[in-house]
Amino acid sequence: MDKMFAQEAMLIFWDVILYGNTGLVSLDIQSPNSLLSCLLISLWILNGYSTVSSFPPLHSLILIQLFSAAAFPLLVLENFNIYHPLSDLMRDFPSSKLSTSTPYFTRASDLGFSLLNTSGEFTRFPFRTPARPGVLDLTFANHFLALFFESWSLPYGSTGLDHVPVPISFSAPFYQLFSLKLNWPSTDWVAVKPLLATFYYLAPPFLPSGSGLDVEFEAVFTKLTHVLIVHTPSNRPYPHSKPW
Protein backbone atom coordinates (compact mmCIF):
# COMPACT_ATOMS: atom_id res chain seq x y z
CA MET A 1 0.00 0.00 0.00
CA ASP A 2 1.20 3.47 -0.76
CA LYS A 3 2.64 5.19 2.32
CA MET A 4 0.36 8.18 1.92
CA PHE A 5 -2.74 5.97 1.93
CA ALA A 6 -1.45 3.93 4.91
CA GLN A 7 -1.01 7.07 7.02
CA GLU A 8 -4.43 8.23 5.97
CA ALA A 9 -6.09 4.97 7.03
CA MET A 10 -4.60 5.20 10.53
CA LEU A 11 -6.47 8.49 11.07
CA ILE A 12 -9.88 6.91 10.49
CA PHE A 13 -12.08 6.22 13.50
CA TRP A 14 -15.35 4.36 13.61
CA ASP A 15 -18.68 5.07 15.29
CA VAL A 16 -21.33 2.35 15.22
CA ILE A 17 -24.98 2.97 16.10
CA LEU A 18 -27.60 0.23 16.44
CA TYR A 19 -31.22 1.16 15.72
CA GLY A 20 -32.98 -1.10 18.22
CA ASN A 21 -34.41 -4.24 16.60
CA THR A 22 -34.98 -2.72 13.17
CA GLY A 23 -32.10 -4.61 11.54
CA LEU A 24 -30.28 -1.36 10.76
CA VAL A 25 -26.71 -0.47 11.72
CA SER A 26 -24.97 2.81 10.91
CA LEU A 27 -21.22 3.16 10.58
CA ASP A 28 -19.58 6.59 10.64
CA ILE A 29 -16.09 6.82 9.13
CA GLN A 30 -14.23 10.09 9.62
CA SER A 31 -10.73 11.40 9.12
CA PRO A 32 -9.19 14.68 10.34
CA ASN A 33 -7.36 14.98 7.02
CA SER A 34 -9.17 13.34 4.11
CA LEU A 35 -10.50 10.10 2.67
CA LEU A 36 -9.69 8.91 -0.85
CA SER A 37 -6.93 11.57 -0.94
CA CYS A 38 -9.39 14.38 -1.58
CA LEU A 39 -11.65 16.76 0.34
CA LEU A 40 -13.90 13.91 1.54
CA ILE A 41 -13.53 13.76 5.33
CA SER A 42 -16.62 11.78 6.35
CA LEU A 43 -18.50 8.73 5.10
CA TRP A 44 -21.72 7.36 6.57
CA ILE A 45 -22.73 3.74 5.91
CA LEU A 46 -26.17 2.32 6.66
CA ASN A 47 -26.20 -1.48 6.73
CA GLY A 48 -29.70 -2.94 6.87
CA TYR A 49 -31.34 -6.34 6.99
CA SER A 50 -35.05 -6.35 6.28
CA THR A 51 -37.26 -9.06 7.75
CA VAL A 52 -40.72 -9.66 6.37
CA SER A 53 -43.73 -10.46 8.49
CA SER A 54 -46.03 -13.15 7.13
CA PHE A 55 -49.35 -11.32 7.52
CA PRO A 56 -49.59 -8.56 6.68
CA PRO A 57 -46.38 -8.70 4.54
CA LEU A 58 -44.54 -5.76 6.11
CA HIS A 59 -40.79 -5.06 5.91
CA SER A 60 -38.90 -4.14 9.07
CA LEU A 61 -36.74 -1.46 7.39
CA ILE A 62 -38.37 1.96 7.30
CA LEU A 63 -37.86 4.04 4.17
CA ILE A 64 -37.27 7.28 6.07
CA GLN A 65 -34.48 5.65 8.08
CA LEU A 66 -32.82 4.18 4.98
CA PHE A 67 -32.87 7.06 2.51
CA SER A 68 -32.50 10.64 3.66
CA ALA A 69 -31.46 13.96 2.12
CA ALA A 70 -28.03 13.83 3.76
CA ALA A 71 -25.54 16.63 3.10
CA PHE A 72 -22.61 14.18 3.26
CA PRO A 73 -21.56 10.97 1.44
CA LEU A 74 -23.98 8.19 2.33
CA LEU A 75 -23.86 4.50 1.39
CA VAL A 76 -26.96 2.34 1.96
CA LEU A 77 -26.54 -1.40 1.51
CA GLU A 78 -27.27 -5.01 2.53
CA ASN A 79 -30.16 -7.44 2.26
CA PHE A 80 -33.44 -5.58 1.68
CA ASN A 81 -35.41 -8.74 0.77
CA ILE A 82 -37.09 -6.91 -2.10
CA TYR A 83 -37.26 -7.67 -5.82
CA HIS A 84 -37.24 -5.10 -8.60
CA PRO A 85 -36.45 -5.05 -12.38
CA LEU A 86 -33.75 -2.39 -11.89
CA SER A 87 -31.65 -4.89 -9.95
CA ASP A 88 -32.69 -7.98 -11.94
CA LEU A 89 -33.64 -6.80 -15.42
CA MET A 90 -34.21 -10.20 -17.04
CA ARG A 91 -36.75 -11.53 -14.55
CA ASP A 92 -40.48 -10.92 -14.39
CA PHE A 93 -41.91 -10.22 -10.94
CA PRO A 94 -45.52 -10.41 -9.76
CA SER A 95 -47.32 -7.20 -8.89
CA SER A 96 -47.15 -8.06 -5.17
CA LYS A 97 -43.33 -7.98 -5.29
CA LEU A 98 -43.28 -4.74 -7.28
CA SER A 99 -45.73 -2.99 -4.97
CA THR A 100 -43.37 -3.75 -2.09
CA SER A 101 -40.08 -2.80 -3.77
CA THR A 102 -41.15 0.21 -5.85
CA PRO A 103 -41.45 2.62 -2.86
CA TYR A 104 -37.82 1.88 -1.94
CA PHE A 105 -36.50 2.57 -5.43
CA THR A 106 -38.76 5.59 -5.88
CA ARG A 107 -37.61 7.25 -2.66
CA ALA A 108 -33.96 6.46 -3.47
CA SER A 109 -34.34 8.05 -6.91
CA ASP A 110 -36.18 11.11 -5.57
CA LEU A 111 -33.34 11.79 -3.11
CA GLY A 112 -30.60 11.39 -5.71
CA PHE A 113 -29.36 7.88 -4.82
CA SER A 114 -27.81 5.66 -7.48
CA LEU A 115 -28.07 1.86 -7.53
CA LEU A 116 -24.51 0.50 -7.78
CA ASN A 117 -25.46 -3.14 -8.46
CA THR A 118 -24.79 -4.67 -11.83
CA SER A 119 -28.29 -5.69 -12.92
CA GLY A 120 -28.85 -9.44 -12.98
CA GLU A 121 -25.76 -10.35 -10.93
CA PHE A 122 -27.10 -12.73 -8.28
CA THR A 123 -25.99 -12.09 -4.70
CA ARG A 124 -27.92 -14.91 -3.02
CA PHE A 125 -27.77 -18.61 -3.88
CA PRO A 126 -30.22 -20.50 -1.65
CA PHE A 127 -29.30 -23.92 -0.34
CA ARG A 128 -32.75 -25.31 -1.10
CA THR A 129 -32.77 -26.69 -4.65
CA PRO A 130 -36.24 -25.50 -5.79
CA ALA A 131 -35.47 -21.89 -4.79
CA ARG A 132 -33.91 -19.68 -7.44
CA PRO A 133 -30.91 -17.36 -7.03
CA GLY A 134 -31.79 -13.72 -6.61
CA VAL A 135 -30.52 -10.16 -6.26
CA LEU A 136 -31.30 -9.34 -2.65
CA ASP A 137 -28.15 -7.46 -1.57
CA LEU A 138 -28.54 -3.94 -2.91
CA THR A 139 -26.15 -1.01 -2.74
CA PHE A 140 -27.19 2.64 -3.08
CA ALA A 141 -24.98 5.73 -2.96
CA ASN A 142 -26.17 9.32 -2.74
CA HIS A 143 -24.82 11.87 -5.20
CA PHE A 144 -22.05 12.99 -2.83
CA LEU A 145 -20.57 9.47 -2.85
CA ALA A 146 -21.56 8.32 -6.35
CA LEU A 147 -18.90 10.70 -7.75
CA PHE A 148 -16.22 8.42 -6.28
CA PHE A 149 -17.77 5.09 -7.32
CA GLU A 150 -15.41 2.81 -9.25
CA SER A 151 -16.70 -0.76 -9.25
CA TRP A 152 -19.22 -3.25 -7.83
CA SER A 153 -18.25 -6.87 -8.43
CA LEU A 154 -18.74 -10.50 -7.39
CA PRO A 155 -15.25 -12.02 -7.75
CA TYR A 156 -15.57 -14.52 -4.90
CA GLY A 157 -17.57 -17.68 -4.50
CA SER A 158 -19.62 -18.79 -1.54
CA THR A 159 -18.12 -18.47 1.93
CA GLY A 160 -20.48 -21.06 3.39
CA LEU A 161 -23.44 -18.70 3.52
CA ASP A 162 -26.21 -18.32 0.98
CA HIS A 163 -25.06 -14.74 0.25
CA VAL A 164 -21.79 -14.01 -1.57
CA PRO A 165 -19.31 -11.22 -0.66
CA VAL A 166 -19.65 -8.01 -2.71
CA PRO A 167 -16.49 -5.85 -2.91
CA ILE A 168 -17.27 -2.19 -3.69
CA SER A 169 -14.50 0.19 -4.73
CA PHE A 170 -14.34 3.97 -4.51
CA SER A 171 -11.52 6.26 -5.56
CA ALA A 172 -10.87 9.95 -6.08
CA PRO A 173 -11.67 10.95 -9.68
CA PHE A 174 -8.32 12.63 -10.21
CA TYR A 175 -6.50 9.42 -9.20
CA GLN A 176 -8.28 7.32 -11.83
CA LEU A 177 -5.99 6.73 -14.79
CA PHE A 178 -7.69 6.75 -18.15
CA SER A 179 -6.01 5.08 -21.12
CA LEU A 180 -5.70 7.17 -24.26
CA LYS A 181 -7.84 6.13 -27.21
CA LEU A 182 -6.14 4.93 -30.36
CA ASN A 183 -6.13 7.15 -33.41
CA TRP A 184 -7.30 4.55 -35.94
CA PRO A 185 -7.26 6.88 -38.99
CA SER A 186 -3.50 7.23 -38.43
CA THR A 187 -2.71 3.49 -38.45
CA ASP A 188 0.50 2.75 -40.36
CA TRP A 189 -1.03 0.41 -42.95
CA VAL A 190 2.21 0.31 -44.94
CA ALA A 191 3.77 -1.54 -42.02
CA VAL A 192 0.66 -3.50 -41.08
CA LYS A 193 -0.28 -5.01 -44.46
CA PRO A 194 2.84 -7.25 -44.80
CA LEU A 195 2.28 -8.50 -41.26
CA LEU A 196 -1.36 -9.34 -41.96
CA ALA A 197 -0.36 -11.14 -45.16
CA THR A 198 1.91 -13.45 -43.15
CA PHE A 199 -0.41 -13.72 -40.14
CA TYR A 200 -1.01 -17.29 -39.04
CA TYR A 201 -2.60 -19.16 -36.16
CA LEU A 202 -2.73 -22.76 -35.04
CA ALA A 203 -5.86 -24.64 -36.04
CA PRO A 204 -8.21 -25.37 -33.10
CA PRO A 205 -8.55 -28.95 -31.89
CA PHE A 206 -11.11 -31.22 -33.54
CA LEU A 207 -14.58 -30.78 -32.01
CA PRO A 208 -13.50 -28.36 -29.25
CA SER A 209 -15.72 -27.66 -26.26
CA GLY A 210 -17.50 -24.33 -25.94
CA SER A 211 -15.02 -23.01 -23.38
CA GLY A 212 -12.08 -24.34 -25.41
CA LEU A 213 -13.32 -22.56 -28.52
CA ASP A 214 -13.65 -19.34 -26.56
CA VAL A 215 -10.03 -19.63 -25.44
CA GLU A 216 -8.81 -20.29 -28.99
CA PHE A 217 -10.80 -17.37 -30.40
CA GLU A 218 -9.56 -15.00 -27.69
CA ALA A 219 -5.93 -16.00 -28.36
CA VAL A 220 -6.22 -15.36 -32.11
CA PHE A 221 -8.12 -12.10 -31.58
CA THR A 222 -5.51 -10.83 -29.10
CA LYS A 223 -2.66 -11.72 -31.45
CA LEU A 224 -4.35 -10.01 -34.39
CA THR A 225 -5.30 -6.81 -32.56
CA HIS A 226 -1.77 -6.56 -31.14
CA VAL A 227 -0.46 -6.19 -34.69
CA LEU A 228 -2.79 -3.24 -35.24
CA ILE A 229 -2.27 -1.58 -31.86
CA VAL A 230 1.53 -1.42 -32.02
CA HIS A 231 1.28 0.40 -35.37
CA THR A 232 -1.46 2.85 -34.31
CA PRO A 233 -0.65 6.06 -32.40
CA SER A 234 -2.71 7.27 -29.48
CA ASN A 235 -4.86 10.35 -29.55
CA ARG A 236 -3.52 13.34 -27.68
CA PRO A 237 -5.33 14.15 -24.41
CA TYR A 238 -6.07 17.65 -25.71
CA PRO A 239 -6.09 18.95 -29.30
CA HIS A 240 -3.32 21.43 -28.49
CA SER A 241 -1.14 18.94 -26.58
CA LYS A 242 2.28 18.18 -27.94
CA PRO A 243 2.37 14.92 -29.95
CA TRP A 244 4.82 13.24 -27.57
Q: What is the pLDDT of residues 119-145, one digit of tens each?
A: 888 888 887 767 788 888 899 999 888
Instruction: Transcribe 60-114 into DSSP letters.
Output: SS-HHHHS---SS-EEEEEE-----TTTSTT----HHHHHHHHHHHHHHHHTT-E
* CA angle (78, 30, 24) in 5-degree steps: 25
pLDDT tens digit sequence for 209-221: 777 777 788 888 8
Domain extent listing, the chain: 3-175, 179-244
Single out the residue of 217, 7, 46, 16 nearest to residue 145, CA to CA.
46
Query: Is the whole model's pTM more than 0.75, yes or no?
Result: no
How far is 235 from 241, CA to CA, in rounded Å?
10
Q: Does domain 3-175 have CATH number 3.60.10.10?
A: yes
